[in-house]
């Protein structure tokens, strides 16, 4: 099926969901848990971003009967933009037509980028078919979006928005004949290039969600810009992006090895596999035609994996990658380690939080029934707790780990949902090695040990898995250990607190830490664990970590922590 046919098939799928009264596509409500105040009670919603994509697709499809609908969708969309330059939200849109910007908590300024792009492409591809008044309205909406992007001036650390904003301003400046906006876009792309090449990777490192977005946006720049300089920068950055994916793709499991700076699921979703299959242009096929998810924003965009990376998606191999990451806010070097064999992969970051979009300790294993993942999580009343921080040192299929606790920073989100006064209110707080996927092949049990903390031993298919604890404390609370089976997963749980909801003042805890060794595909190495009043230290097989045992501000935790192996070293 050619790309135009795929586009028409997707439009046909959306046909039944079109709401003429709302002039938008109807979708079930979903939310990451922030920005919007809407809840699942609302049922179905109408997204502004979907409307922008839908209108462009209707015109890209080229069928005359779709034009009037596209014009209706676009008219409502431009009317929904904040057009008051005095407002902080000038130039952006709300997520949903059901929720105006004034009700969002807070509004999402990324929508200037996400909606500015399809509106700009609408102008570039279909200006001649748009009614004059609508064309003028769209041009003004794009100008407003550019101003919002320039006002916000996102730095190069925010990977996907840094690139998308560069695309919108650079290409809008070219199209609209606005030299200042064009110059801003090119300078923004140059700044992102310089920042990325400093470490050889993105700040939003190795993200199945956002690395693919980065590839799409860089491909858009390459496809649309007339600037030779921008094209050169985009080509070199695309090599970086594709290397990130190809070097960590695990052929036997069909999974994208960690660690992931940002991800929304552990197992690759069909839309990500579809993206990779689309970019590989038939050289690899994971999904049959009926399961392939075509995104209308790929249409007209030259998204292609370079030939030199194709073999990495199909040939099993043993590899060990140690990737320096950009330094943290305290100026400390971080590392991402990924070890893979034909049968499994294990990945860690040297230090970082456990926000629900992080995959800071992540493993994949192949079984006859399908892939299995292991993901280290900290759960506060069942939701991932950002205030838990991981320190790790890894060698091959073994990793020393310590999870300790910050008195500041995020609770549910690093910025939008913060710990207040160094205190959390909780009825349940636990550390979980979550095992998911084809769990019918998984066995795991906590085994007691005389004079030592329990050890969890088990198997994923034929591969041994071990969690060997050297320290576990959370103030004066009694620690419990259990295997929790729920929602199609197995939780290897260290329960720090469970009971009536109560305020827990983190800074008042003398000791709050869980530390030990995790191993997949091999037995754990002999190791020494020692804890004094200030530090928990673990050493094994050339690895060493030293973590503060008392909760403290993030900067203090990272400054005092040490994670070292024979390959990498992080020092205060």
Residues 251, 316 contacting (CB under 8 angstroms): yes
Kindly state the tokens that stand for 181: 């906006």
Least Cα distance to 281 among 309, 304, 299, 254 occurs for 304
- The tens place of each residue's pLDDT in the chain, 572 residues long, gives 799 999 999 999 999 999 999 999 999 999 887 899 999 999 999 999 999 999 999 999 999 999 999 999 999 999 999 999 999 999 999 999 999 999 999 999 999 999 999 999 999 999 999 999 999 999 999 999 999 999 999 999 899 999 999 999 999 999 999 999 999 999 999 999 999 998 788 888 999 989 999 999 999 999 999 999 999 999 999 999 999 999 999 999 999 999 999 999 999 999 999 999 999 998 999 999 889 999 999 999 999 999 999 999 999 999 999 988 877 656 678 899 999 999 999 999 999 999 999 999 999 999 999 999 999 999 999 999 999 999 999 999 999 999 999 999 999 999 888 999 999 999 999 999 999 999 999 999 999 999 899 999 999 999 999 999 999 999 999 999 999 999 999 999 999 999 999 999 999 999 999 999 999 998 888 999 999 889 999 999 889 999 999 999 998 998 888 887 655 444 33
Strands (DSSP E) found in 307-409: 319-325, 334-340, 344-349, 351-353, 361-367, 370-380, 383-384, 388-395, 398-405
SS3 299: coil
Decide: 9 and 33 in contact? Cβ < 8 Å. Answer: no
Concatenating the DSSP letter of every residue in 215-230 gives: HHHHHHHHHH---HHH
Distance CA 543, CA 525 (A): 10
- Please list, in sequence order, all residues whose beta carbon lies within 8 angstroms of the beta carbon of residue 451, skipping any fewer than 6 positions away: none
Decide: helix, strand or coil at residue 50: helix
The domain ranges of the chain are 1-148, 153-317, 319-570
Q: Are 527 and 470 in contact (CB under 8 A)?
A: yes
User: Cα separation of 488 and 495, whole Å?
Assistant: 20
Cβ neighbors of 128 (< 8 A, separation 6 or more) are none
Q: At what angle do helices 210-224 and 159-176 cross, to 10 degrees?
A: 20
**What does DSSP assign to residue 531?**
E
Handedness of CA 145, 148, 150, 156 (dihedral sign): negative
Place of tokens 């197992």: 267
Class of domain 1-148: mainly alpha
Torsion of CA 153, 353, 254, 491, to 10 degrees: -150
**417-418 and 480-486 beta bridge pairing:** unpaired
The Cα 103–Cα 89 span in angstroms is 12
Q: What is the DSSP letter of 486?
A: E
Indicate the pTM of the whole model: 0.90
Cα–Cα distance between 547 and 274 in angstroms, integer? 41
CA distance 175 to 120: 9
Burial of 40 (0-12, 13-18, 19+ CB in 10 A): exposed
Question: Among residues 378, 377, 379, 374, which one has the least CA distance to residue 363?
Answer: 374
SS3 of residue 361 by DSSP = strand
Q: How far is CA 120 from the centre of its chain?
A: 26
**DSSP 8-state code for residue 102:** G
Contacts of 151 (CB under 8 A, 6+ apart): 90, 91
- Are 427 and 501 within 8 A, CB to CB? yes
Query: Would you state the structure tokens that stand for residue 428, as one six-digit string?
Result: 């349940």
Residues linked to residue 402 through DSSP beta bridges, in sequence order: 391, 515
Task: For residue 71, give the 3-state DSSP assignment.
Answer: helix
């Amino acid at each position: 099926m050619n790309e135009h046919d795929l586009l028409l098939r997707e439009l046909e799928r959306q046909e039944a969901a079109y709401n003429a009264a709302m002039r938008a596509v109807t979708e079930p409500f979903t939310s990451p848990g922030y920005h919007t105040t809407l809840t699942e009670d609302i049922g179905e919603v109408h997204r502004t971003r979907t409307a922008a994509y839908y209108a462009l697709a209707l015109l890209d499809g080229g069928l005359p009967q779709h034009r009037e609908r596209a014009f209706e969708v676009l008219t409502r969309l431009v009317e929904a933009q904040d057009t008051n330059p005095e407002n902080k939200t000038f130039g952006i849109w709300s997520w949903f037509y059901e929720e105006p910007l004034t009700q969002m908590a807070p509004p999402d300024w990324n929508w200037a980028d996400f909606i500015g792009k399809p509106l700009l492409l609408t102008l570039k591809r279909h200006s001649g078919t748009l009614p004059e008044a609508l064309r003028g309205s769209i041009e003004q909406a794009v100008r407003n979006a550019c101003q919002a992007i320039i006002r916000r001036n996102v730095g190069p650390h925010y990977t996907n928005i840094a690139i998308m904003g560069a695309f919108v301003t650079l290409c809008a400046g070219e199209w609209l004949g606005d030299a200042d906006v064009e110059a801003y876009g090119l300078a923004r792309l140059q700044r992102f290039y310089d920042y990325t090449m400093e470490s050889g990777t993105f700040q939003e490192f190795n993200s199945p969600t956002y690395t693919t977005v980065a590839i799409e946006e860089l491909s858009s720049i390459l496809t649309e810009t007339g600037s030779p300089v921008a094209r050169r920068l985009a080509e070199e950055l695309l090599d970086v992006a594709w290397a990130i994916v190809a070097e960590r793709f695990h052929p036997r499991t069909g999974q994208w090895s960690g660690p992931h700076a940002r991800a929304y699921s552990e197992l690759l979703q069909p839309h990500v596999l579809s993206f990779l299959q689309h970019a590989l242009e038939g050289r690899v096929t994971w999904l049959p035609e009926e399961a392939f998810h075509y995104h209308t924003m790929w249409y007209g965009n030259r998204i292609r994996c370079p030939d030199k990376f194709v073999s990495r998606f199909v040939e099993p191999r043993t590899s060990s990658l140690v990737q320096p990451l950009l330094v943290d806010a305290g100026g400390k070097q971080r590392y991402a380690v990924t070890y893979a064999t034909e049968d499994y992969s294990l990945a860690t970051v040297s230090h970082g939080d456990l926000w629900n979009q992080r995959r800071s300790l992540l493993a994949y294993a192949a079984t006859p029934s399908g892939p299995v993942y292991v993901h280290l999580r900290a759960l506060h009343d069942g939701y991932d707790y950002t205030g838990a921080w991981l320190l790790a040192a890894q060698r091959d299929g073994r990793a020393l780990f310590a999870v300790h606790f910050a008195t500041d920073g995020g609770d549910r989100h690093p910025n939008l949902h913060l710990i207040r006064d160094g205190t959390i209110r909780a009825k349940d707080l636990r550390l979980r090695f979550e095992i998911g996927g084809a769990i019918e092949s998984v066995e795991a049990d906590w085994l007691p040990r005389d004079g030592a903390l329990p050890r969890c031993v088990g198997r994923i298919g034929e591969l041994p898995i071990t969690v060997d604890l050297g320290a576990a404390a959370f103030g004066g609370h009694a620690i419990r250990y259990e295997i929790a089976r729920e929602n199609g997963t197995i939780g290897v749980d260290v329960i720090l607190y469970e009971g009536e909801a109560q305020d827990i003042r983190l800074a008042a805890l003398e000791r709050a830490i869980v530390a030990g060794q995790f191993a997949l595909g091999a037995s754990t190495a002999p190791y020494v664990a020692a804890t004094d009043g200030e530090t928990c230290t673990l050493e094994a097989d050339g690895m060493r970590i030293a973590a503060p045992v008392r909760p403290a501000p993030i900067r203090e935790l990272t400054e005092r922590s040490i994670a070292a192996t024979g390959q990498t070293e992080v020092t205060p």
